[in-house]
A = this chain, B = another copy of it.
Amino acid sequence: MAAPLPPPPSGQFRDGVHLFPVRVYYDDTDAGGVVYHSNYLRWFEHARTEVLRLLGIVQSETADGMYAVADLAIRYAAPARLDDAVTIETRALELRAASVRMRQRALRDADLLADATVRIGFLGPGGRPRRQPADWRARFDAFSIKDTQ
């Protein structure tokens, strides 16, 4: 019997940093020959989702609420191009009752492509800020502690 196909990658934690691999496909690029600037935000969101998954937090299985981006700042350092293998680095910066702040960077080997700070808020079903579930917060906490080692 054939071995099952490996699942889509979730990346991995190394010294408190989550590393997530991304491939640049045609639809990520634009007629300027480089990755369209908003697609870095999609990659960052994918990486955050994989951080949650590795921490055991599956958003689609809770009715308590959901995380949403509250604000972000991003600096574009160099363009990614078709066929590039890009690594998304994610670090927890600050954990509060109803939000998490993270730093996320896109790199191609040692080259910095984009550098962002993202604040994620937890929202109840009605869309209002709400305390994160205690269990989820504890899991994030473990992630951020690793980051300071």
Contacts and interface: CB of A to CB of B under 8 A. Distances in A.
State the majority secondary structure of interface residues on A.
mixed
Given A5-B87, A71-B76, A36 B32 contact: no
Q: How many copies of this chain does one complex carry?
A: 4
Interface residues of A, number: 52
Given A5-B12, A5-B87, A26-B49, 12 more contacts: A2-B14, A8-B9, A25-B42, A25-B46, A26-B36, A27-B30, A27-B45, A31-B60, A37-B69, A60-B82, A70-B75, A70-B76
Interface of A: 2, 5-9, 11-12, 14, 19, 21-23, 25-27, 29-34, 36-39, 41-42, 45-46, 49, 53, 58-60, 66, 68-76, 79, 81-83, 85, 87, 127
The 10 closest A-B pairs by CB, nearest first: A8-B23, A29-B31, A38-B41, A73-B73, A71-B75, A38-B38, A8-B21, A26-B30, A37-B69, A60-B82
